[in-house]
Amino acid sequence: MPCYNHGRFVRESAAAVLGQTFADLELIIVDDASSDDSVKVLRGLARDDARVKIIVHPQNRGPSASRNDGLRAATGEFVAFCDADDLWKPEKLARQIRLLEEHPDCDMTYSDSEIVDEEGRLTGRLFSDDFPPPPIPSGNLFESLCARNFINTQTVLARRLALGERLLFDEKIRVVEDWLQWIRISRHHRFLYDPGALALYRVHSMSTGPLQRRRYSRSRCRVAIRTLHAYSDIPLKVQGQFFYLIGRELCYLGRGRQGRRFILKGLSSGWAGRLPVRGLARMSARLILEWTRGSIPRRRS
């Protein structure tokens, strides 16, 4: 659980994990060189509950490295994730462990979550409102995840031994690292979806803004390129979606000429791969829009 937020969030998040109805657990908290009172809070938690283990990074290494250190220290049959500003509902672990025990053909389960504001107040929205799962949300999700990420990290539970080294995150990706992770895992393992909202996902001022948006755009391009290079047998329609995504993000970053080429390549691959009309129409509309903007100077990234 990377701890790079205020100590209050850390305390609330840890309490939600330790208060699970499934109590036979270990809570491994990774402090990623926080600059607030988080370490003091964590040491207090460890003194009060023997289930708490702390790992402190002397320098910030990002969420992927933090999760990997936690995974390497884990000893349980199952592993789950909870960032420092998010919360689990009390029945989350018990319900998900039961689901995986009832479905031995699946190695990872995920669920919906409720969105809360910075003070923890319910907003009335679900994670699935913004990131809906595919029509068939369980089973082999590789192609669906290549198109977009719809899995909230806080809702995941996985079989630790079954996934082995595949559980480790790519430490070179510091933003949208979870999307790349689920793509890689879904290549070899089946997922199981629970439509219940088993976690609370906090949206606050630190998670939005132009600078953060540019970081997301760059990382989405990296994830798409890495996936295309890693799997030579990706269907043409999926390749088309990746090319379109790369082009769209490049245009946002001010690299319109290069972005338009990728959108056109995505349109060509999508057509050859029989991408649904809606996807082809979206690519065509974006291409036309960016072409009309081509004469307007834009700042390059």
Query: What are the pLDDT digits (tens) for 38-87?
Result: 888 899 999 999 999 999 999 999 999 999 999 999 999 999 999 988 99
φ and ψ of 9, to 5 deg: -65, -40
Map tokens 């100590």 to a residue.
7
User: In a 3-state reduction of DSSP, which class is residue 11?
Assistant: helix
For residue 87, the Cα-to-chain-centroid distance in whole angstroms is 15
233 Cβ contact list (under 8 Å, min separation 6): none
Mean pLDDT of the 146-159 span: 96
237 Cβ contact list (under 8 Å, min separation 6): 269, 270, 273, 274, 275, 279
Give percent above pLDDT 90 in the chain: 77
Longest alpha-carbon distance in the chain? 63
For residue 84, give the nearest of 121, 48, 36, 124 by alpha carbon: 36
Give the span between the Cα atoms of 116 and 128, in whole angstroms. Answer: 14
